[in-house]
Each structure stands twice: as structure tokens, then as C-alpha cells.
Amino acid sequence: MTFLIRTVDHTATGREIVRDREVEGSRLTIGRATTNDVVIADLALEQHHVSAEVDERGRIALKAGSTRDFTFDGRKTTGVRFDPAKGGRLTLGLSTLAFSREPDGRTLVTVTQEEREFGNRDAVRRFDLASAMPSKRAAAWIGVLAILIAFMVVPIWTNLARTDKQPGADGLDQVAWDASWSTGRLSLAHHALENNCEACHVAPFVSVRDETCLACHQDIGDHAAQNRLAAARGPMSTGDALLWQVADVFGKEGPEACTTCHTEHEGAGRMEPAAQQFCSSCHESMDARLADTALGNAHDFGTDHPDLQALVHVELGSEDLTRVTLDGEAREDHGLRFPHAMHLSSTNGVARMAGNLPDYGEKLVCADCHRPTDDRNGFLPVAMESDCESCHSLVYDKVGATYRTLRHGDVAQMRADLIAMDRAPRSPVTRGLRRPGEFKRGGRYFQDFGRPTQNYIGIVRALSEGGVCGECHIPTGAGGEASVMPVFQRNHYFLNARFDHAPHAQEDCTSCHAADTSDNARDLLLPTIATCRECHKGAAAREADVPSTCAMCHSYHPPSFRPREEGPQSVAPARVAGLARSGMGSE
């Protein structure tokens, strides 16, 4: 059995809207509940007011769902049976359901609604709430005007009327009702500006300008000079050029602008670094556009990246720096004689000495001398007093219960201290660190400071290749006076990149630095690119332990260039150590 439900509605102009739908089955439910087959939204009806069921003879039996009656063909009743072929009209409140039989055998139920509850509707319309309200069209226009005033007129007017129109985060929020204009949350770096939109959006309907960013980020450096950036990027395609022309109409600056890379209102959190493709779009073939560049082409760290280079001292006693390729054979002349292999041995005299001292284990390890900084990004400089003197004592005299120690790092002061000694000859005062035969009279660590002449002899011996100073330092006789070569030790070797030790804490030092096999102090114990690629490969490498993008090691804004209004500035050698301590280098 199939019921064809036909609903007839009327528009405000009197046009009929007819909708048909079918209900399969021999039973039809009618009422106010939405679970009924025919839903009539009338509070005068029960949730399930009437049910219509077809019997075996094709007649329809109407039955009330409760004690409430209904009207059928003008008579009130709680149950009736009729032949749909002859028709019938069921009245429920303001709705009428007319039953009839279609030629194809379906039972047609036509649902119409009439306004006849109050008789003459016009006579009682003045008692309705609608009579005191504006029409729907007027209400719509009033709503549009309210929205325009609240979300456009007030913010724009207060923006134009504000007194301070200079960029910067220190100004007060003078624009009212502008929160609705925000397209999303700011990053954590700019969280303090959530309620001060005009700190960045100085002019209405104009993109954030570079000078606005530089009002706060005064010390930021350009990636390179603007003309070189444009040359490295190369000519734009026709489509890109057209898009930038459109953007220019709305006040957006060119492709080298801050907002090209740094997009805000992307949600709270850290500002994401640029994607690898952003860097490689210039660097993968930059030498074709910048013939004078010293940088090698780079596209992907795992497949297309130049060999790593380190900034080192290659001339003994000179503070000049040179970049050398890390090919496993790189050398550095820093002025020290320090064989790592000897100090990391587990069987030689150094290991036996370490085992006798309370501060060390059975042998020396890297952490005994190389101590991390508080942020664990790098390491503190190795200091004689804290890292070496436990084994390499500089005690030279004892006055009562007080030991006198040579001041490390000042050769002139050492000379003065030794010459000033006027006591009788004496044996060494150190205990527990004796080297067999070297403390006896005439040995390496024995000096007779009884007479001034012998004092000078002791100084020369100490500064000789086999003396207490020459054991770690390279002696020199420059200027006709015994001394040692100046020491230039770097704590940061990369000029164009940064390296953070903290994420590598789970690795053994020797997995990257071959210190345990290095018997030459000049060995530059930095890993080659092949060593790094054992874990680090390109951003899209599925087999990589650590997929690595350009931004993992390189900074787009190096401190080697001043803000653009001052022009570029090269890195002076004296500044390099400071840049190294900051964890950054020039790009």
C-alpha cells in the first residue's frame, strides 16, 4: 500500500507551492511529533493525534491516538472507517487532510492549512505582536544598517580619528569594535598584540608595511641586499607578475617584503619556518643568476647540498679566519698541543692518573673537560683553572700553608712571579701528581730558583718545548724573548649555519667527533656531511631518521646585515666570535 502525501502551501502573494512525497506501508500516523508520517505543527494537536490504517478491503480506518477527538466530514469522533474512493476530509486544528484514490491505486492525502481560528483575521491583527513590529523587509534593512555601523563605521571612524598613527607595540588600542575584523589568532610571538590591531595595521585597508615590522624588530638583518635578492629570485612568470600587480593595488609590497614570508592570523602557536621550496627556489641554481656568489647551490640536504665548511685559524699565531671544507682532513692551527687520543685512552698514564683523582672515573671522558652551557645548546670555553689544573698543576711555591700558583694566560706575569722568588733551592711542593723521574733535581718539573740567574734559566726551561708550558703550548722566541704562541680557540665554527647540541644529547660524542682516534692537536674534529646524512636527509625523505629542512640549520635573518635603511655590512673578524656565541651566522 502506498500513501501519496501532497502538501499545499501559499506564499504571501497567494501563489500555491505543492510538494509531493510517498509513504510506503498500510499505516499512516498524523500528529505534532516529528516522528509522524504527516507532521502538523499545531499546539492544539497531540504528539500522535490520529492514525490511518488500511484494512483488507481497502478501506481506511481513522483512530484517535488518545481521548482527544478529531473532525471528519464535519462530525467530531474518535474513530471512523471510510472508502477513500468516495473521499473524506479530516480536520485537525487549522489543517485539513483530504483523502481520495488515485487512478493508479495510491491513496492521495492532500494537506492544506487555513487561517480561520479567529474568524476575521484582519479584525484581530491589531492584537498580534506583529502589528507593533516593522515588516520583515524593514527589519532586514535595520539589521543591515546595524551591522554596518557596528562592524564597519565605528572601527573605521575610530581608526581615522586616533591621535597616534605610528607603528609599534607600545601604543594604546584606540580602535573600537575591531575584534570582528580579525581573521584568526596571532602567533605566540605576537600574542601581546591581540587587542591592538593598529600596532601593525597602521593604515586602514593597507597591507602591513616593512617599516611597521622594523619599528619593533630594529635589530633584524636582511637576508641579503635587496638588489641581490631580486637578482637571485630571477624573473617572475606572467601569472606571478599579474598577481603582484593586483596585490600592489591593495598596498602590498613586493616579493621581498616581510609579509611575503611571515603570515599571521594562522592560529596561536609558534610561527612556522619557511618551507624548503621557499629557499631552494633561489639557492638551487643561484650561481646562474649571481655569478659572483661564494655560496654553492643547494636544493635538498640529503641529495643536493655543498660540503660543510668551517671557519678556522689556519695560520699559527694569527687571528685571521679562513673557511675550510670538512672532508675529514681539515686542520686548525689554534696554538695548542693537545692530542685527544692520549687523553681519552683507557690504558695509558692519563687514565691511571684519572683513576687516582676523586673527580674522575677510570679514564677521562669528553664531559670531564667540555661542559655544556646553561641552555645546553653549546659548550663553555675550556678553562685551565677548572678543566686542566687538576692534572696539570701550576703550583710553584709554598709560603707557610699557602700554595702559590702561576697565573695562567699571562706570560709576563709568570715571568714576574718567578723572578721575584728569592728563597733557597727547594724540591717541588706538589704531591700525588708525580711523574717518575720528572720531579728529581734536573728533571722537567724541578727548578732551582735560588739565584736570579737560575730564575731566568727556569723561565726559559718552562717555556721550552719540553717544559711545563711547552707541554700544552707551542713555544716561540719572537722578539728575542721566550714565550708561547697565542691561542685562538673557537666555540662556533659555522658562518652560514647554526648547530644545537641539545637535540643530539642521546648520541655519544665520538659518533660525530673522532676524538678517540685523533693523535694530532691540529685535527679539526668536526663531522663531514656524510656523517650528518646518516640521520639527516631532506624534508621529504621517508627513510630519514630526522627529515631536515633548510630552516633547521640556517637562519634567514643573519646579524651580518643591518636593517635595510642602513645598508648591508660585512662581518668583521672581531665580531665572528660574538656571532658564534649567539648561535647564528650570516647567510
**Band of residue 171 on the pLDDT scale cut at 50, 70, 90:** low
Mean pLDDT (the chain, rounded) = 81
* Domain end (from 241, 272, 303): 272
Tell me: do 151 and 266 sit in the same domain. yes
In terms of pLDDT, which residue wins out, 467 or 450?
Answer: 467
In terms of pLDDT, which residue wins out, 391 or 399?
Answer: 391
Residue 531 has pLDDT above 80, yes or no: yes
Determine the pLDDT at residue 122: 54
Distance of alpha carbon 309 from alpha carbon 324, whole angstroms: 5
Work out how many domains the chain is built from and give that number: 3
Determine the pLDDT at residue 77: 92
Tell me: do 8 and 97 sit in the same domain. yes
Domain membership of residue 426 (yes or no) is yes
Tell me: do 473 and 399 sit in the same domain. yes
Tell me: do 8 and 64 sit in the same domain. yes
- Range of 401's domain? 387-487
Domain membership of residue 349 (yes or no) is no
Percent of the chain with pLDDT over 90: 26
In terms of pLDDT, which residue wins out, 159 or 115?
Answer: 159
Bridge-based pairing state of the strands 50-54 and 38-39:
unpaired
Q: Are 49 and 70 in contact (CB under 8 A)?
A: yes
Tell me: do 70 and 182 sit in the same domain. no
The answer to pTM > 0.75 is no
85-99, 449-463, 497-511: range with lowest mean pLDDT: 449-463
Tell me: do 115 and 25 sit in the same domain. yes
Residue 575 has pLDDT above 50, yes or no: no
Residues 312-346: pLDDT tens digits? 999 998 889 999 999 989 999 999 988 899 999 99
Average pLDDT over residues 213-239: 83
Residue 434 has pLDDT above 70, yes or no: no
Which CATH number does the domain housing residue 77 bear?
2.60.200.20
Q: Which residues contact 387 (CB under 8 A, 6 or more apart)?
A: 368, 369, 371
Determine the pLDDT at residue 134: 81
Residue 583 has pLDDT above 50, yes or no: no
Determine the pLDDT at residue 41: 87
Residue 197 has pLDDT above 60, yes or no: yes
* Domain end (from 96, 125, 154): 125
In terms of pLDDT, which residue wins out, 217 or 573?
Answer: 217
Tell me: do 85 and 196 sit in the same domain. no
Determine the pLDDT at residue 39: 93
In terms of pLDDT, which residue wins out, 240 or 274?
Answer: 240
* Domain end (from 252, 272, 292): 272
Q: Are 304 and 298 in contact (CB under 8 A)?
A: yes
Tell me: do 155 and 119 sit in the same domain. no
Average pLDDT over residues 71-79: 92
Determine the pLDDT at residue 127: 56
Bridge-based pairing state of the strands 2-10 and 16-24:
antiparallel
Domain membership of residue 31 (yes or no) is yes
Residue 304 has pLDDT above 80, yes or no: yes
Domain membership of residue 132 (yes or no) is no
In terms of pLDDT, which residue wins out, 278 or 90?
Answer: 90
In 114-236, beta strands by DSSP E: none
Please report where in the chains the cell 683523582 appears, as a residue: 357
Domain membership of residue 512 (yes or no) is no
Tell me: do 158 and 243 sit in the same domain. yes
Tell me: do 66 and 166 sit in the same domain. no
Q: Which of 146-160, 239-253, 416-430, 524-538 has the highest mean pLDDT?
A: 524-538
Is 456 exposed, middle or buried, given 0-12, 13-18 or 19+ CB atoms closer than 10 A? middle
Tell me: do 112 and 151 sit in the same domain. no
Angle between helices 411-419 and 452-462 (to 10 degrees): 150
1-5, 187-191, 232-236, 556-560: range with lowest mean pLDDT: 556-560
Percent of the chain with pLDDT over 70: 84
Q: Which residues contact 488 (CB under 8 A, 6 or more apart)?
A: 313, 318, 319, 334, 335
Domain membership of residue 74 (yes or no) is yes
Tell me: do 261 and 162 sit in the same domain. yes
Determine the pLDDT at residue 130: 64
Residue 213 has pLDDT above 50, yes or no: yes
Domain membership of residue 542 (yes or no) is no
Domain membership of residue 309 (yes or no) is no
Determine the pLDDT at residue 7: 93
Determine the pLDDT at residue 125: 54
